[in-house]
């Protein structure tokens, strides 16, 4: 007596056998194009660009990261509770109290951003 093999059910996440990828065949053979930038590298470059910021009566050129920090501190000094909380949590994370590496941020993301800013070429502004 022959037993029949159950039929392959085609449905959600079960394409017909003739449309399935063969072993060793990729569904995305060309992959991500070379030279495509990641979000992290784009963010690093953007934060490292220079902008003009008014500081009292004069205008100073600082990085966008520095401008954001200045703005947050200004808001915190004006009494903005969210800005105060953000500054305090950032300080707690960056300055862990050991005191031996004052300029080195503790979070790996911060360290990577700071290294990228330090190595990125500055733009000459007219």
* pLDDT tens sequence for the chain (126 residues): 566 667 888 899 888 988 888 888 878 878 777 777 889 999 999 999 999 988 888 999 999 999 999 999 999 999 999 999 999 998 888 887 655 555 554 567 777 777 777 776 655 544
3-class DSSP state for residue 120? coil
Burial zone of 120 (CB within 10 Å; 0-12 exposed, 13-18 middle, 19+ buried): middle
Question: What is the rounded distance in angstroms from the CA atom of residue 21 to the CA atom of residue 36?
Answer: 26
Q: Render pLDDT for 41-71 as a digit per residue (tens, 0 to 9).
A: 999 999 999 999 888 889 999 999 999 999 9
Report the distance separating Cα 12 and Cα 28, nearest Å.
20
pTM over 0.75: no
**φ, ψ dihedrals at 58, nearest 5°:** -110, 165
């Amino acid at each position: 007596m022959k037993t029949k093999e159950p039929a392959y059910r085609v449905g959600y996440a079960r394409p017909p056998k003739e449309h399935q990828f063969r072993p060793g065949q990729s569904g995305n053979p060309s992959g991500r194009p070379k030279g495509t930038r990641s979000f992290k590298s784009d963010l690093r470059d953007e934060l490292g660009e220079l902008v003009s910021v008014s500081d009292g009566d004069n205008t100073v050129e600082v990085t966008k990261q520095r401008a954001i920090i200045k703005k947050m501190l200004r808001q915190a000094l004006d009494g903005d509770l969210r800005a105060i909380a953000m500054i305090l949590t950032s300080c707690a994370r960056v300055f862990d109290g050991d005191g031996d590496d004052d300029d080195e941020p503790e979070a790996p993301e911060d360290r990577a951003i700071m290294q990228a800013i330090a190595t990125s070429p500055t733009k000459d502004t007219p």
